[in-house]
Amino acid sequence: MPNSLQEVVQEVLRRVKPSLEEEERVSRILSKTVSTLREEFNRLEPEAEVLVEGSMAKGTWLSGETDADIFVRFPVKWKKSEMGETLIESVKRIFGPEKCRLRFAEHPYVKVTVDNINVDVVPCYKVEKGFYKSATDRTVFHTEFVKERLSLELRDEARLLKRFFKGIGVYGAEIKTRGFSGFLVELLVYSFGGFVKTLEALRDFQPPLILDPGGLYKDREEELARRARGSLLCVIDPVDELRNVAAAVSGESLSIAQYAAHMMLEKPSIEFFYPVYRASKEELKETVRSRGLNIVSITIPAWTNIPDILWGQAYRLLSRLSGFLEENDFGVLMERAWSDEEKNIVLLFILEEVEKRAAILHMGPPYFSSNVPRFVETYLSSERMLIHPFPRNGRWWTVLKPKVRDVREAISKFMSSSESLKGFSEKILESLSRSTICVGDSVVDAVENPEYTSFLERCINPFPWLSK
Ligand SMILES: Nc1ncnc2c1ncn2[C@@H]1O[C@H](COP(=O)(O)OP(=O)(O)OP(=O)(O)O)[C@@H](O)[C@H]1O
Ligand SMILES: [Mg+2]
């Protein structure tokens, strides 16, 4: 087992750096795909440009990875919607609709599988640097920056940091993760001069951490500080001085990154990069039982196939329900969401308790307070009153029925309250009406999917490297 920092880094590098054969295979498939697309698009729009983009163009992809990005640049005269539709129709025609899946970011794009590689074909505008019309227009300039400024060694260091962030669960800028994007990883490694140096910087920084890798704010430090105000991490996009590449990074992700960097430098291990979650369903059930965890899951059929929308709404639902449980006197210890982004969403809660006592002692005002008559009056007429208000040890009290008996009742109440569900679409409400609730160790069986099982393990034990 490698255990010095140097040895661990070497071992991970060996795993993440694609071999020459792998590089050649991927680039053969991509060139073929690009030529096919070029032929088609040149017929439709002679000015269109088809380019390999993303980590496969930058040389920062991880061995074994099967995702690639191809961008089609349209002249600006195209309407956004027409550009998207044309692209989707063409890709479907060329590769067959069964190999294509429609996805959405700022505009629609297509995922097509060619020889086991999943290629995102993304439309964007062919604009000059700095004159962006849509969110994906900066990408070609990002690629250019990385290719110009990062040496081959630094690109390998970016692979290490990417793998590290994936391992600790903070890789990806999507709403699901709110972590570090591929481009941000490249900029960090470039700014600090390597993987280990980035870890040291992450370990040692106090927010805000402000970086300007393109040197766009040279001699304008005050303006830069103003621009970064309010962010924990601000990394100025070298191709757009108004944009913070780290805007999507949540405090939670950044704090995990800092602590993991601290631990990795103190006790280097492969486990940061490749954490192992291998508890069986039986073992998980046993953990839930033996620790007496009050765990509850709600499985809801997915209501959209657009991941960012699904996750955004799922998190909103999660926090709304969490607040509702708190209002109904359930202490929420942990709340999490999981989804396969296709069939199901699971909202998961760990609570202080799942059943309420039969009666609750409810405190009123002290003796001789002017509020005593009102307190007595209020609770005498309350539906929840079990024992009339009475004085004892310096105060007035009453004994009430709990607001709800158990968590199932609370969730049903939530689902049938239009007040609680205000703002959620009909589609979501319809899905909610088909949801199922599990309490206790049966949450393990809520969804049949190994990724769900490992999600549950991560809820209870998020950082396997902690216990080493
Ligand atoms: N939501 C988005 N909005 C705008 N541009 C995006 C968005 N997502 C991705 N991009 C652009 O598309 C490119 C490819 O994105 P992707 O997430 O695949 O990153 P990557 O650098 O290829 O890393 P990875 O190795 O994880 O694929 C990025 O370089 C980025 O500039
Ligand atoms: Mg990519």
User: For 433-461, what is each residue's pLDDT tens digit?
Assistant: 999 999 999 999 999 999 999 999 999 98
Least confident of 95-104, 265-274, 345-354, 409-418: 95-104
pLDDT bin (cut points 50, 70, 90) of residue 467 is low
For ligand 1, whether the C-beta of 139 sits within 6 Å is: yes
Digit-coded pLDDT (tens) for 18-35: 999 999 999 999 999 999
Digit-coded pLDDT (tens) for 77-90: 999 989 999 999 99
Which residue is closest in CA terms to ligand 1's atom 9?
136
How confident is the model at residue 102, as a pLDDT? 83
pLDDT score of 105 more than 90: no
How confident is the model at residue 101, as a pLDDT? 86
Q: Which ligand 1 atom sits closest to the C-alpha of 62?
A: 25
Examine the domain organization and report whether 32 and 68 are in the same domain: yes
Examine the domain organization and report whether 443 and 294 are in the same domain: yes
pLDDT score of 468 more than 70: no
User: Is 5 a domain residue?
Assistant: no
Examine the domain organization and report whether 65 and 92 are in the same domain: yes
Contact 52, 73 (CB under 8 A): no
Average pLDDT, the chain: 95
Q: CATH number of the domain that 311 lies in? A: 3.30.70.590
Examine the domain organization and report whether 58 and 198 are in the same domain: no
Residue 110 domain boundaries = 19-146
Q: Among 58, 136, 177, 309, which residue has the most ligand 1 atoms within 8 Å of its CB, making it the best to mutate?
A: 136
Examine the domain organization and report whether 41 and 173 are in the same domain: no
